[in-house]
Amino acid sequence: MKKIIKILSVVWLMTFVTTSHAARIKDLASVQGVRSNQLVGYGLVVGLPGTGEKSSKFTQRAFATMLRNFGINVPAGETLKIKNVAPVAVTAELKAFAKQGQKIDITVSALGEAKSLRGGELLQTFLKGADGNIYAVGQGSLVVGGLGAEGADGSKVVINTPTVGRISNGAIVEREVRSPFSQGDSITFNLNQSDFTTAKRLADTINNLVGPHTATPLDATSIRVLAPRDVAQRVSYLSTLENLEFEPARGSAKVIVNSRTGTIVIGEDVKLLPTAITHGGISVTISENQEVVQPNALATGNTQVADKSMINITTEDSRMFKLDTGVSLNDLVRAVNEVGLAPGDLMAILEALKQSGSLQGELIII
């Protein structure tokens, strides 16, 4: 550990060394245990101008429970008219190391038949974590970006979403989440995208700076790094490491096709085996006409109407291009542009190439 602490005083001079495709560790990985936590709660929004809940028994019970907490008892069986009240779900994200007394943003969404939350105020709402404990308490006036208007004949206009609002700094943190950051003799970096080569390069970068065997890749995602136990020294140490730059590995060859939007992304490492491609279309047109069949003057028979079908087949211009061994992305795109294919045609060609085994890469259709 003394070696690690001693290096901290001179390591800043080396963090500015960059490479052409270098990236910082903090941009490619996160520290294990340093994470956010989701919070959720159920509450009531009041003060709505008649755009709240209509006649939900669930909302009436919740409203009656709230009144009971204030010492007001609602007689059993009495129906409350609460058009200015709406039941809502309240969500928030508790950032790592959030301290008691700090404020966080919350999102409020209508649960029932409320038409709009504009002008409403959220009453005190407990926000719980996955363990059932209360970590924050929210309250405040909503900011709603949506707008809705309705006419007497039933016609209406809705802009954005008037049933969802936000309250900036609307919740106060009441409980802290314990973090394992200061525990043990090591910290672990988890890559955002698993890759064995990237994990090894990240470990090598730290070892070249701090010393051999400081960082150990555990698998394609995790790299364990020895760290000082003192919290202040650990913060400085991690600040140094996360700003180190190294060159991550190039991703595997992929072709991603979005069948809904027609978007096609071809990775740089995608290659094609020797192949010949032809693409064209056949247009078939069928037309139905009617003609009169008239018998001869001396023949016996009646005049009749007969159907006559006309079938025309038109073949569009088909072009063929040949791709040699190891064709790169540029060659493929250039050949496709020369043929003038639409995105839908290119999708069909890519699928056919993958089925034939000529496409060296993973074809992903979403």
Q: How many other C-beta atoms are found inside a 10 Å radius of the C-beta of residue 45?
A: 26
Of 44 and 153, more confident: 44
Q: Is 126 exposed, middle or buried (0-12, 13-18, 19+ CB in 10 A)?
A: middle
Task: Report pLDDT for 282.
Answer: 41
Residue 345 structure tokens: 């045609």
Considering only residues 339 and 40, tell me which one the structure prediction assigns the higher pLDDT. 40
> Which of helix, strand or coil describes residue 260?
coil
Would you say 266 and 226 are in contact if contact means Cβ atoms under 8 Å apart?
no
Contact 138, 165 (CB under 8 A): no
Report the range of poorest mean pLDDT among 111-115, 248-252, 274-278, 313-317.
313-317
Residue 96 is classified by DSSP as T
- Which of 83 and 204 is assigned the larger pLDDT? 204
Asked if residues 4 and 237 have their Cβ atoms less than 8 Å apart, the reply is yes
- Tens of pLDDT, residue by residue over 318-330, are 555 555 555 565 6
pLDDT digits (tens, 9 = 90+) for 224-259: 999 999 999 999 999 999 999 999 988 778 888 887
* DSSP-derived pairing of the beta strands 156-159 and 164-173: unpaired
| Lowest-confidence segment of 17-31, 116-130, 177-191, 205-219 by average pLDDT | 17-31
Q: pTM value?
A: 0.67
Q: How far apart are CA 4 and CA 6, in angstroms?
A: 5
Find, among 287, 295, 293, 277, the residue nearest to 356 by Cα: 277
Q: What are 174's two structure tokens?
A: 């009441």
**Predicted local distance difference test score (pLDDT) of residue 135:** 96
Confidence bin at 68 (pLDDT 50/70/90): confident
Q: What is the mean pLDDT of residues 121-149?
A: 88
Residue 327, both tokens: 């064709």
